[in-house]
Structure 1
């Protein structure tokens, strides 16, 4: 049996179409096929979706995988593709676009399934699905109403109405007692159009109308219409019949007019029970049993599809459109108000919590069709904001950005630029912009939003503080660590005054401030803050909570910066296993473990760092700062092992990418360049290393100051460059200054300070100082560490740079 996902139920009354099914099969061997309405039925109703469903079931055994993707809206399409990624065994990237690209590439390669069928339903914008179209031995089938498909994208196959024999078969399958003559009369009047035939058959079954009576009613209704198409007339008869049998059911179906083509669950309709409604519809939605019965009756009249479990209704776009055209402006406004209220009542809240994501996945497709952006009620707009955050939290940054940008544009006009929810949407838009690489746009928007919030709501407003935290993130991304520290320190004081020091958002702010301190080289201050934050989080969160694990990773980075490499393992022990292998915490823990192993001289450090880099590439991509920092850590291991060529390739590539991602003057770019200088120096190219180091140290002194660990590491290397050039006096002065600063900043017993002491003693040819330095290194590292092979050979020691998370 093939793996299946999202495939609608098979139509047990499907008839005919043998020639079309054969043509689909033949054309798919040449590339994607798009099923379109025939030229005389551009609005649809010819059975494209049913044809695609039947093809999928009929040929399922020839495929390893069959996956159905609703493509009417981008967010729903991306969610379905993300589900396919799990079935393909692909790691989930933080950015959903990377996951979707991996899906396309895996299908194209035929890994792990060579023969597959992917169906894109209602893909009405070819440009939306083109980035996700795979190639290879599999097949892509598309249904669409849009004729703008070029042969380069897909082969167009118009789906015509039934031939007469198939039309008669369909009618007799629904009513076996129907004579061939009566079936022929009906088919003739309905133009053999599949949707009209199906509606007529359903209504006759539900009402018991004989063929003659049905045709009489058909003619009367057709005479009332200016353009009496078969679908419009048969729909009107079905809607009227439903309204006569159960008026509340028709109202329920009218509500679905304002929802998307995505399946509508009874739970969503049930949410309307809290709203002020007409008595009859209120009685129906108040009790689950009655609501489910109404859904069954709607399906019985052919006006919607009901899944086999009776859980979800699916209303055809044509049916939705015709209901909408029949409504008066007053009735339209009233029903739209109810639908918006129903959707907001179904909002589970807490969009960051994965436990509620399935609820948001159901709500999000309906936002556009119900025009939630135009809702007047505050709770309706809050649902929009929560959906923006939901998309962001699950990694669909494009959907988050698109929805947030639409909300900001609409609400600025309707509510004003300084309205609370306009500013909230702006805050979330900035987050999404940053996530898709538009850091400058995010920074500018955040600054504008923060200024307005402070003017309108004050600096102590919770939303203002959240934006200020985001601005702190922007400052870190720019490399302005000191400014970020000032802002986050002010935020923390305000958070603690307003909410107390153990409030979750106050702890997040404390976490951010510790990041700032760590980036500034103040590992002692960061450690004190991280230890306090971890204690609070352990007290208020369950074991294994992501924020507690994040605090552990932060504390481990602090210990590493303080030179306590054995302490790193103690903090992380047993906790990385509490999350998935590609979870950010697990990747941070893996990188720290590799870094500490390298510093401790363990043989497995290089393998650990190699595996961690590959995992980061899969999760974050090659241009992510965490990935680039991991490449720098691996390069340190590789250089120490003597593989200078591989280390140079790693660092050269990382430096180029740091320049592209963070800019030329960012401290991380400069620190990575210092690492590259170390490899160049190890290869004996001291002049080239000096050129790099002099440029780097100048930039670091400007950006983070002369006492920063990055600057001290670069200065240690530059001193070696000067000695190699025969400039003994300036080299010695720089080495002595670096040692003095390192003792103050890092501490006298820090391994990097001891390395600086050894280098100065070596330059001075001071044997007593050399013995003292080696003895101190022995206390720091223990016996048998590789560092002693270097000192025994009378060579200088490098002080490598590792980058903490931004």
Structure 2
């Protein structure tokens, strides 16, 4: 639309002469209104020239009220707000935006068109520059500490934040970065430094402590007050939170929110903005919390020895005096583990007392606890090392706390792993049973390819190729191959472990029964249920001869094998017996929130599905999706993808094809190009093509989806099955059961 804009009459200053009774502030508001209308592409013929003659807020309100009568297309509530308009207009930078808001368009419309007759009052949709954002007092910065001149060693991380977060014209979506790591590693300091060096590019920077709901709400209420959205003491905190959220959602100003020390990501739901003008930083100790909301995460590590040394020397302003001092500073950095907070605290101690590194090292080795206890909290930090680590230790799980209590009696660097993983250690305390679960680390981290390389390398350099450590390593390697959908490779690794265990412990020993379970699992994954049952019978006989209460794993794998053999009733009986030995009921498993139980719930869902109980199966699989996302993040790894895929298959089975297709698209999108997700991506593409064909989609689109499935399959390493164009072939790209 061509822009034609009227100029004021001869001798007038944009519509008013030097003797005009209109106040300068009101004149500025009128001027701003015309400028913004012009920018929005409004033709001059549509703008009422009489507006130049409007003398003040009362007259403007009267005109709006008169023009608004009978306009049934406008919000029925707009007239109720006119009484609020007068006291606001005199101090408003952009009253056109407010007028559109008062007309009931919720900030989405940007200006009110004034026309010469009262029948054509309307609000254009294409003027985002006029949304309500200037009603706040800007700029507004609530940063708890000023620029830290002792900020060192994080240039790469700082540049990463800048590249990802800083607003640019081509960015049309909210940007959220999650910084996670140990307590004291410098998460908050990195966020602080970014905030303090970014005030020129953001109109609002808000630091929001987020350890608890109370702290979050108080900080947001204070922000509402500072922005001028509320008056101090005039409203309760939750009304302030709502006003801040409304402002963020309608603002055209770039803003940065920093949610510091998040422990429960769900409390951010009440303030999470929808505006595309925002940048957000989340700091948290938990990687799973960081990934739930952030689209980009940064795992902050302690300093390397080289960087740590340079940082400590900068903090103390002290260079090593000689070779002994050089060796001392390196040892100090090693003892501190490169933890930034510890280095800051120690540097203050060294500087205040005038110690050399050699002198300090001697004292530290004798009295490290006293040194940290006596050291004051650094100016730029909220807590000391002691406080930070006490907070971290208080948040350990019960199992982690028990393990920590066990290890305090040892030098952890000298503890052979076999002491706690080898069943011959005879740790009988039931509360320490989790130590024998070799799945734990790999299950949580979902990095089977990396683990495979690790174990293979370890086996290649281990001189003791026939001892208990080698036997355990072969078994763990088998677990990894199962996660990679390579059951034949897993079987070879398990049989090697079985051979070693039989020589070490005897053919009828409990460790042999444990490996028989694993062999049965690999046969089940390969589809050879007869062989699987043979090894399960052997494991059962060994457990019955020693301690029948220890056969939980045998029963769980038996349930899986029965299910694959098409025997859902036998599978259900086996898994229920497994739960009974654990002291749990089926109801407790179904309602459990413990992430490890998601595998049991998935197995139960698949049993119900095979029995024809599809509604209950669908409900249980939906629960596993939520549980696994809670563990691995919204865009989690293989187990989240597998749960979504299973749910899609059930929905397809009950005729919900559109929903099934939507879930498969989620699997494809979350898979990206991650190597460990390629099997899930290829399988999802192939089954998306099946559903598209059932829906009646175009043949071209179906063919395109199938071709994408084939292309992704070709990039998967270690495939054990023929590359047939069948449903079964694509199903075999992923393990039959991901616990």
TM-score by length of 1: 0.42
More helix by share: 1
Q: What's the TM-score, normalizing by structure 2?
A: 0.45
